[in-house]
């Protein structure tokens, strides 16, 4: 009887575990595919066929089932970014330590801002107004966490594309050592909801690796010619170009500006991440010419219907009659503060202020 139990136990140990094929996506953008044996809080164990691999949980971005017929693919396509899975929500504290290395400090002669790395080859997203008019830009990457923070300065940085209307810029760290940079995934603007918790990471006023949290006040605030994400997360000079994250560790916006006005608090705005994706997909249309800091293909706003009609018909400006001239003369002679139209008292609000240090 004892021999029978021993043989049965050996058979159970030797029998292969019933595991399904999965994709293990790493923080730096790599991917491992194999049969998932363990998915625990401290480690992920994957059977690669020829060996069993144990992966520390803190370097794993997500674990996804691999459906039958799925092909092995690189998460980074020609568009230079990878998209998040929308799974595995964590706390701000955990995410700040996990993805903080991909948030960088950007310095130029006239100021500084923030940015984030989207591709392991060193492609960085920031605001156009952070690097506008500049030819020499440096990027500082913060490595490690806890007691061993290291700063590495990269001075050989190229500006690849700029869009002054969207206020976006694409940079490239020229890394001769072929270093693999940590990256952050991009989320989806469609999945963003009013009241959702978000947090910003950047270097406001030069205070490196600062984190501020808040919520989405409105996902599509009309700010003139742009739709921006309104948030209560604090955005200050130096935050410009930095990422706005959701609790999945995905970038949902690029911090852009805040409203500066007496009595106004928590009015920050970020560029929606879907606009960033369109910018990257069409980056050849915004190519930057280093010989001309103001280069890049600039697309001006189309004329209004009235302007187009006047140009098409060549309508001359209306002539002033004698009565109009008499009225204008009386208006000019009116005492200060007695304007008949009252236009001097209207529209004295303050404009939004970009959140850069420039």
Of 228, 262, 286, the residue that ends a domain is: 286
Whether residue 45 is predicted with pLDDT greater than 80 in this model: the reply is yes
Q: Is residue 154 located within the same domain as residue 230? A: yes
The residue with greater pLDDT, 205 or 138, is 138
CATH of the domain at 54: 2.30.30.100
- Domain assignment present for residue 323? The answer is no
Q: What distance in Å separates the CA atoms of residue 152 and residue 192, rounded to the nearest whole number?
A: 34
CB-based contact 27:98 (threshold 8 Å) = yes
Q: What distance in Å separates the CA atoms of residue 330 and residue 338, rounded to the nearest whole number?
A: 12
Q: Is residue 177 located within the same domain as residue 275? A: yes
Whether residue 231 is predicted with pLDDT greater than 90 in this model: the reply is yes
- Domain assignment present for residue 228? The answer is yes
272: confidence class by pLDDT, cuts 50, 70, 90: very high
CATH of the domain at 222: 2.40.10.120
Q: Is residue 262 located within the same domain as residue 166? A: yes
Q: What is the pLDDT of residue 196?
A: 95
Mean pLDDT of 24-31: 72
The burial of 12, by beta-carbon neighbours within 10 Å (0-12 exposed, 13-18 middle, 19 or more buried), is given as exposed
Q: Is residue 48 located within the same domain as residue 108? A: no
Q: What is the pLDDT of residue 293?
A: 55
- Domain assignment present for residue 218? The answer is yes
CB-based contact 132:162 (threshold 8 Å) = yes
Q: Is residue 123 located within the same domain as residue 264? A: yes
Structure tokens at 241: 């170009």
**CA-to-CA dists, residue 48 to 15, 22, 69, 194, 271, angstroms:** 17, 11, 18, 42, 41
Range name among 6-20, 247-261, 266-280 with the lowest pLDDT average: 6-20
219: confidence class by pLDDT, cuts 50, 70, 90: very high
- Domain assignment present for residue 252? The answer is yes
The residue with greater pLDDT, 50 or 51, is 51
Q: What is the pLDDT of residue 15?
A: 39
- Domain assignment present for residue 223? The answer is yes
**How many separate domains does the chain show?**
2
Whether residue 2 is predicted with pLDDT greater than 90 in this model: the reply is no
Q: Is residue 54 located within the same domain as residue 177? A: no
CB-based contact 233:213 (threshold 8 Å) = yes
Q: Is residue 160 located within the same domain as residue 258? A: yes
Whether residue 159 is predicted with pLDDT greater than 50 in this model: the reply is yes
Residues of the domain holding 27: 13-65
Name the residue among 136, 116, 154, 107 with its Cα closest to residue 241. Answer: 116
Q: What distance in Å separates the CA atoms of residue 20 and residue 83, rounded to the nearest whole number?
A: 23
Q: Is residue 53 located within the same domain as residue 196? A: no
Instruction: With H, G, I as helix, E, B as strand and everything else as coil, classify residue 275.
Output: helix
Q: Is residue 174 located within the same domain as residue 32? A: no
The residue with greater pLDDT, 16 or 206, is 206
DSSP 8-state secondary structure symbol assigned to residue 341: S
Residue-averaged pLDDT of the chain = 78
Strands 210-223, 197-202: parallel, antiparallel or unpaired by DSSP?
A: antiparallel
- Domain assignment present for residue 343? The answer is no
Q: Is residue 182 located within the same domain as residue 232? A: yes
CA 18 to chain centre: 40
Of 253, 286, 319, the residue that ends a domain is: 286
- Domain assignment present for residue 172? The answer is yes
Q: What distance in Å separates the CA atoms of residue 271 and residue 101, rounded to the nearest whole number?
A: 21
Whether residue 162 is predicted with pLDDT greater than 90 in this model: the reply is yes
Phi-psi region of 182 (alpha: psi -120 to 50; beta: other; left: phi over 0): beta
Q: Is residue 213 located within the same domain as residue 104? A: yes
- Name the pTM for this structure: 0.65
Q: What distance in Å separates the CA atoms of residue 203 and residue 347, rounded to the nearest whole number?
A: 33
Name the residue among 205, 216, 288 with its Cα closest to residue 240. Answer: 205
- Domain assignment present for residue 295? The answer is no
């Amino acid at each position: 009887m004892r021999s029978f139990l021993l043989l049965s136990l050996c058979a159970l140990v030797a029998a292969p575990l019933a595991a399904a094929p999965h994709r293990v996506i790493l923080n730096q953008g790599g991917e491992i595919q194999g049969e998932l044996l363990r998915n625990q809080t401290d480690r992920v164990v994957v059977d690669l066929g020829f060996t069993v691999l144990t992966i520390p949980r803190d370097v794993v971005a997500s674990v996804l089932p691999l459906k039958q017929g799925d092909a092995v693919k690189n998460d980074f396509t020609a568009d230079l970014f990878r998209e998040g899975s929308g799974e595995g929500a964590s706390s701000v504290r955990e995410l700040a330590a996990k993805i903080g290395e991909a948030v960088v400090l950007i310095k130029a002669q006239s100021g500084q801002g923030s940015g984030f790395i989207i591709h392991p080859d060193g492609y960085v997203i920031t605001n156009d107004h952070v690097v506008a008019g500049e030819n020499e830009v440096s990027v500082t990457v913060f490595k490690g966490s806890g007691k061993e923070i290291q700063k590495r300065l990269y001075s050989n940085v190229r500006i690849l594309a700029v869009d002054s209307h969207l206020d976006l810029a694409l940079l490239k760290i020229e890394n001769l050592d072929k270093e693999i940079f940590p990256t952050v995934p991009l989320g989806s603007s469609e999945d963003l909801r009013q009241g959702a918790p978000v947090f910003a990471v950047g270097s406001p006023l030069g205070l490196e690796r600062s984190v501020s949290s808040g919520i989405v006040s409105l996902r599509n605030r009309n700010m003139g010619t742009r739709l921006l994400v309104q948030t209560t997360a604090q955005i200050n000079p130096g935050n410009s170009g930095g990422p706005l994250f959701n609790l999945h560790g995905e970038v949902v916006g690029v911090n852009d500006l805040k409203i500066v006005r007496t009595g106004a608090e928590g009015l920050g705005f970020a560029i929606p991440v879907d606009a960033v994706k369109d910018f990257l997909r069409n980056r050849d249309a915004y190519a930057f010419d280093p010989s001309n800091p103001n280069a890049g293909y600039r697309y001006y706003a189309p004329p209004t219907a009235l302007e187009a009609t006047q140009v098409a018909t060549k309508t001359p400006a209306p002539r002033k009659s004698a009565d109009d001239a008499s009225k204008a003369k009386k208006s000019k002679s009116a005492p200060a503060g007695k304007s008949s139209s009252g236009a001097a008292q209207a529209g004295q609000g303050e404009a939004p202020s970009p959140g850069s240090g420039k």
